[in-house]
Amino acid sequence: MRVAVCISGRGSNLRALLEAFPPGDEAQVVLVLSNRAEAPGLEHARGLGIPTAVLTDPANGDEWLTTLDRYAVELIVLAGYVRLVPGPVIARYRGRIINIHPALLPRFGGPGMYGRRVHQAVLASGVSESGATVHLVDEVYDRGDILAQDRVPVRPSDTPETLAARVLEVEHRLLPAVVRAAARAGRAVPLAEPLERLP
């Protein structure tokens, strides 16, 4: 399965995917796309010889589709991409765009809920657990069907930074597992097995 990974920052989930899918594996990252030319993850991809592209207008669906078509992309993975995907891209790739979110949706999602803000909101709420969610992407932030979740405890001593680090470890296992399941099924599917049993 030919995968495009969309990032806006350092690309730690991109790195996790690249480690999980070496050349010749059942899923291959064939493009790294960003809305920010200075996103550090782009440099990492270039260092590995993976094609990259920077969107001049992230709201322009035609620009997205032209770029995705050039690399015959079959699955789009939003891995720390913080902009809304344009409607024409959603329409063309419906059911084939996934996002990883650093909380247990449907809580703690929506516009502006990314990065440190999510973990601050989790801690302010007083909940006893957080985690990561992989979901299908549609026209509304963080609304699409949930494909997989994994949980971590929220500790009394947590700061947004310590909670973020614990959730990120889960993200780095959960996202490759969902991509592998998609590659085997030919489309994004709910994770059928407990995470621990997946390779």
The token duo for 89 is 């891209």
Q: Do the Cβ atoms of 1 and 19 come closer than 8 Å? A: no
Spell out the residues 6+ positions from residue 9 whose beta carbon is closer than 8 angstroms to its own: 36, 39, 40, 41, 80
Within the chain, residue ranges assigned H as helices are 12-20, 40-47, 61-70, 87-92, 116-125, 160-185
Annotation says 135 is catalytic: no
How many angstroms from the chain centroid is the CA of residue 124? 25
Spell out the residues 6+ positions from residue 146 whose beta carbon is closer than 8 angstroms to its own: 105, 133, 134, 135, 190
Catalytic residue, candidates 101, 119, 135, 172: 101
In the block, tokens 């291959």 appear at 28
- Considering only CA atoms, which of 159, 111, 114 is closest in space to residue 133? 114
Residues with a catalytic annotation lie at 101
